[in-house]
Structure 1
Amino acid sequence: MADSSFDNLTSLARALSHPKLELSEPSDVSPTRGAQLQPCRRRKLSSCTSLESVEPLTSPTAEARVLVINTGGTIGMTIHDNVLAPTANALVKSLRKLPILHDAMYAQQTGLYDYYSYENTLVLPLSKDKKRIVYSILEYSPLLDSSNMTTDDWGRIGKDIEKNYENYDGFVILHGTDTMAYTASALSFMCEHLGKPIVLTGSQVPIFEMRNDGRGNLLGALLIAGQFVIPEVCLYFYNKLHRGNRVTKVDAGSFNAFSSPNLAPLATAEVDIKINWDTVWRPNTTAKFQVSTELNRNVGLLRLFPGITSATVKAFLQPPMMGVVLETYGSGNAPDNRPDLLQELKKATDSGVIIINCTQCLRGTVSTSYATGMVLMDAGLIAGGDMTPEAALSKLSYVLAKDKLDLDAKKKLMGRNLRGEMSVDLAGAKLCLSDSRFIQVIAKSLSVSCKEELEAIRDALTPPLACAAAKIGDIEALQALKEMGTNLCLGDYDGRTPLHIAACEGHLKLVEYLLGHGATVYAKDRYGDTPLCNAVRFRHKEVVKLLRQTGAHFSREKLEEAGTELCSLAATRDLEGLEIWSLAGADLRKQGYDGQTAIQVAQAVGNKEVVAFLVQLMSNKSKSGGVIEFTATPSGP
Structure 2
Amino acid sequence: MSHTPVPEPTEGREHRVLVLGTGGTIASERTAEGFKPLNEKKARDAFYRRIARHPQLSDADACGDFDNIPATKVGRNTRYPPLRTPALDEHGNTVVYEILDLENHMDSSEMTPKDWNIIAALLHENWDNYEGFVVLSGTDTLAYTSSVLTFLFVDAGKPITVTGAQIPLREARSDGWYNLLESLIVSGCLPYAGVGVCFNHEVLQGCRATKSSPNLLHAFETPSVAPWIRLNVRITALPNLTRRSAAPPPPLITLQEAPSVLSCAIYPGITGSILATQIHSMPTCKAVIISAFGSGNLPVKEESGVLQALEATVKREILVVVVSSCHIPNIYPLYALGVRLLSIGVLPGFDMTHEAAFAKLSWLVSRSDLSFEDRQREFQTPIAGEITA
TM-score range with shorter-chain normalisation?
Answer: 0.7 to 0.9
Partner of residue 327 from structure 1, selected from 265, 273, 291: 291
Pairs within 5 Å for 1:164-563:
164-278=126-240, 280-281=241-242, 289-295=250-256, 297-318=259-280, 319-338=283-302, 340-424=305-389
**Corresponding residue SS for 2:273:** helix
Equivalent-residue separation in structure 2 for 1:93 and 1:258 (angstroms) = 28
Deviation, 1:95, is 1.1
Which structure is higher in RCO with an 8 Å CA cutoff and minimum separation 6? 2
Give a deviation string over 1:281-330, Cα, whole Å, max 9, x none.
57999665443223363211111111002211111222432101111111
Question: Which residue of structure 2 lines up, in the alignment, with residue 68 of structure 1?
Answer: 19
Segments of 4+ moved more than 6 angstroms? 282-287
Deviation, 1:180, is 0.6
Residue identity over aligned pairs, in percent, reads: 32
Alpha carbons of 1:124 and 1:79: their partners in 2 closer, same or farther (altered >3 Å)? same
Alpha carbons of 1:284 and 1:130: their partners in 2 closer, same or farther (altered >3 Å)? closer
**Corresponding residue SS for 1:292:** coil
**Corresponding residue SS for 1:348:** helix
Deviation, 1:125, is 1.2
Equivalent-residue separation in structure 2 for 1:311 and 1:194 (angstroms) = 43
Task: Give, as a single letter, the amino acid of the residue that structure 2 aligns with 1:195.
Answer: G
Question: Which residue of structure 1 lines up, in the alignment, with residue 4 of structure 2?
Answer: none
**Corresponding residue SS for 2:35:** strand
- Taking structure 2 as the reference length, what is the TM-score of the superposition? 0.86
Equivalent-residue separation in structure 1 for 2:329 and 2:92 (angstroms) = 42
Question: Which residue of structure 2 lines up, in the alignment, with residue 127 of structure 1?
Answer: 88
Equivalent-residue separation in structure 2 for 1:381 and 1:242 (angstroms) = 29
Equivalent residues of 1:171, 1:199 under 8 A apart = yes
Alpha carbons of 1:364 and 1:282: their partners in 2 closer, same or farther (altered >3 Å)? farther
Deviation, 1:408, is 0.9
Equivalent residues of 1:190, 1:293 under 8 A apart = no
Task: Give, as a single letter, the amino acid of the residue that structure 1 aligns with 2:167.
Answer: V
Question: Which residue of structure 2 lines up, in the alignment, with residue 90 of structure 1?
Answer: 46
- Taking structure 1 as the reference length, what is the TM-score of the superposition? 0.54
Give a deviation string over 1:396-444, Cα, whole Å, max 9, x none.
11111111221111111111111111110xxxxxxxxxxxxxxxxxxxx
Query: Is 2:109 the counterpart of 1:144?
Result: no
Question: Which residue of structure 2 lines up, in the alignment, with residue 524 of structure 1?
Answer: none
Deviation, 1:216, is 1.0
Rg (Cα) greater in structure: 1
Equivalent residues of 1:124, 1:132 under 8 A apart = yes
**Corresponding residue SS for 2:227:** coil
Deviating more after overlay: 239-248 vs 287-296: 287-296
Task: Give, as a single letter, the amino acid of the residue that structure 2 aligns with 1:321.
Answer: C
Task: Give, as a single letter, the amino acid of the residue that structure 2 aligns with 1:345.
Answer: L
Question: Which residue of structure 2 lines up, in the alignment, with residue 32 of structure 1?
Answer: none
Equivalent-residue separation in structure 2 for 1:267 and 1:382 (angstroms) = 32
**Corresponding residue SS for 1:99:** coil
Equivalent-residue separation in structure 2 for 1:284 and 1:385 (angstroms) = 30
More strand by share: 2
Equivalent residues of 2:80, 2:100 under 8 A apart = no
Equivalent-residue separation in structure 2 for 1:89 and 1:284 (angstroms) = 35
Alpha carbons of 1:263 and 1:299: their partners in 2 closer, same or farther (altered >3 Å)? same
Instruction: Give the paired residue count.
Output: 358
Equivalent residues of 1:329, 1:359 under 8 A apart = yes
Task: Give, as a single letter, the amino acid of the residue that structure 1 aligns with 2:110.
Answer: N
Deviation, 1:88, is 1.9
Equivalent residues of 1:336, 1:375 under 8 A apart = no
**Corresponding residue SS for 2:161:** strand
Deviation, 1:245, is 1.1
Equivalent-residue separation in structure 2 for 1:314 and 1:197 (angstroms) = 41
Give unmatched runs, 5+ long, in structure 2.
1-9, 38-42, 65-71, 73-77
Alpha carbons of 1:312 and 1:298: their partners in 2 closer, same or farther (altered >3 Å)? same
Give unmatched runs, 5+ long, in structure 1.
1-57, 109-115, 425-637
Equivalent-residue separation in structure 2 for 1:184 and 1:338 (angstroms) = 40
Question: Which residue of structure 1 lines up, in the alignment, with residue 68 of structure 2?
Answer: none
